[in-house]
Amino acid sequence: MKGLRVIGDYAAEFLVITLLVAASAMSVIFLVPVLVGVTGYFSKELDARRFKDIFTTIGKNWKVIVFYTIFQLIIIVFPVLNIYFFNTHPDKTNNFVLAISVIALLVGTVYLATAPTVIVNMNVKFRQLLYNGFMMLFGSLWRSIVSVLLLLGIVALMLKYPYVLVLTLYIVPMIISKLMKENFYKLKAKALNTSVEQLKRKEKEDDYIDEKGAVKPVDIHFEGAESSTEQTESDCAITEAAEDIYKADVYGQTESEGVMAEASEEIDKTDVDEQNEGDGVTTDVSEDADKADVDEQNEVIASNAESSDSARNE
C-alpha cells in the first residue's frame, strides 16, 4: 500500500512539474522564477513537500529573483539566439563573437544550476548571489560538472529534439537540486567545522523544534501519520476491550448483586412469614388461656352464688 502511494506521489509530481516548467519555458521570462520555486520544492522530502512550496519560495525571494531573471535572460537567451539564429557576422569577427557567446552561455548555465539552491537556502542579495553561486561549484566538482552537462543537454534537446525535452523537465531539475544541495551541505559543514551528517541531523531537528524547544506545528508526514493512526487504532482497541471487560464486570457484579438481593429478599420474606406464624400461634394460645381463665372464674362465681343461696334457704 505504501509503495502504491509513493508511485502515485511521483506520478503527480511528474505531471505537475512538467506542465509548469514547460509553460514557463514557453513564456521564457517565467522560466527562471519557476526553476527557483521547483528547487525549493525539491529541497524537502517527498512526504513533506507540497506544490504550494513552489510559489511560496518565489514569493519569499522575489526581490533577488527579479535581478537574477534579468541576468539570466541576458547571459543565456542572447547567446543562444546569436549562436543558432543570428550567426551572420563577417568572417573576421564571427569566430570571436561565437566564442564570447559560448562563454556567456556556459556562465549562464553554471548560475542556472547553482543560483537557485543559493536563493532557497541563503538570504542573499544579487551580488552575494553571484559570488556564492560561483563558490557552489567547489562543493564537489563532479556534481557541478554533471549538473552543468545536464543543463547543456536540455539546451541541445530544446534546439534539436524539442519533443524529447518533455521527458527531462521533471527529472533534470530534481537531480540538479539534489546535487547542488549536497554541495551546499559540504561547504556549510566546512565553514562551521562540522560534518555533513551532523548538519543534516541538526537541520532535521530544526524542522520540528523551534528556538524555545517546542514542537513546530508543521505538516504531518504520512509515515508518522500512519504510525500515529495505527497507535490510535491500537489505543482505541485497548480502550474498547477495557470497556467491554469493565461492562462485563459491572454486568456480572450487577447480576450477582441481583441474585444476592433476591436471595436476601426471600430470606427476609421467610423470616417475616415465620415470625408472623409464630406471632399467630402465640396469639391463639394467649386467647385460649384467657378464655380458660374466664371460664374458671365464672364457674367459681357460680359455685359461690349457689352456696350462698343454699345457706339462706336453711
Q: Is the pLDDT of residue 164 over 60?
A: yes
The tally of domains found in the chain comes to 1
Cell of 106: 556556459
Q: Is the pLDDT of residue 99 over 50?
A: yes
Q: Is the pLDDT of residue 143 over 80?
A: yes
Within a 13 Å sphere around the CA of 222, how many CA atoms are in the beta-carbon half?
Answer: 12
Quick one: pLDDT at residue 293?
58
Quick one: pLDDT at residue 12?
92
Structure confidence at residue 115 as a pLDDT band (50, 70, 90):
very high
Look at residue 30 and tell me if it is in a domain.
Answer: yes
List beta partners, residue 209.
215
Q: Is the pLDDT of residue 258 over 90?
A: no
Read off the pTM. Answer: 0.64
Look at residue 239 and tell me if it is in a domain.
Answer: no
Q: Residue 35, SS3?
A: helix
What percentage of the chain reaches a pLDDT higher than 90? Answer: 33
Structure confidence at residue 80 as a pLDDT band (50, 70, 90):
confident
Structure confidence at residue 204 as a pLDDT band (50, 70, 90):
confident
Q: Is the pLDDT of residue 110 over 50?
A: yes
Q: Residue 123, SS3?
A: coil
CA torsion angle for 26, 30, 32, 37 (degrees, to 10)?
Answer: -110
Look at residue 257 and tell me if it is in a domain.
Answer: no
Contact, 109 vs 128, CB < 8 A?
no
Tens of pLDDT along 192-202?
888 888 888 88
Query: Shortest CA distance to 36 belongs to which of 208, 182, 180?
Result: 180
Query: Shortest CA distance to 151 belongs to which of 193, 115, 202?
Result: 115
Query: Shortest CA distance to 31 belongs to which of 108, 138, 136?
Result: 108
Look at residue 151 and tell me if it is in a domain.
Answer: yes
Contact, 2 vs 136, CB < 8 A?
no
User: Cβ contacts of residue 154 below 8 Å, gap of 6+?
Assistant: 165, 168, 172
Range with lowest mean pLDDT among 6-15, 83-92, 94-103, 154-163: 83-92
Look at residue 242 and tell me if it is in a domain.
Answer: no
Q: Is the pLDDT of residue 227 over 50?
A: no
Q: What is the C-alpha to C-alpha distance for residues 190 and 56, in angstroms, rounded to an integer? A: 29
Look at residue 248 and tell me if it is in a domain.
Answer: no
Range with lowest mean pLDDT among 19-33, 39-53, 69-83, 240-254: 240-254
- The residue range of the domain holding 57 is 2-219
User: Cβ contacts of residue 170 below 8 Å, gap of 6+?
Assistant: 13, 14, 17, 18, 21
Query: Shortest CA distance to 35 belongs to which of 107, 94, 118, 104?
Result: 118
Quick one: pLDDT at residue 141?
86
Look at residue 173 and tell me if it is in a domain.
Answer: yes
At residue 263, what are phi and psi to the nearest 5 degrees? Answer: -65, -40
Q: What is the C-alpha to C-alpha distance for residues 128 and 68, in angstroms, rounded to an integer? A: 11
Which residue did the predictor score with more confidence, 106 or 225? 106
Q: What is the C-alpha to C-alpha distance for residues 47 and 58, in angstroms, rounded to an integer? A: 21
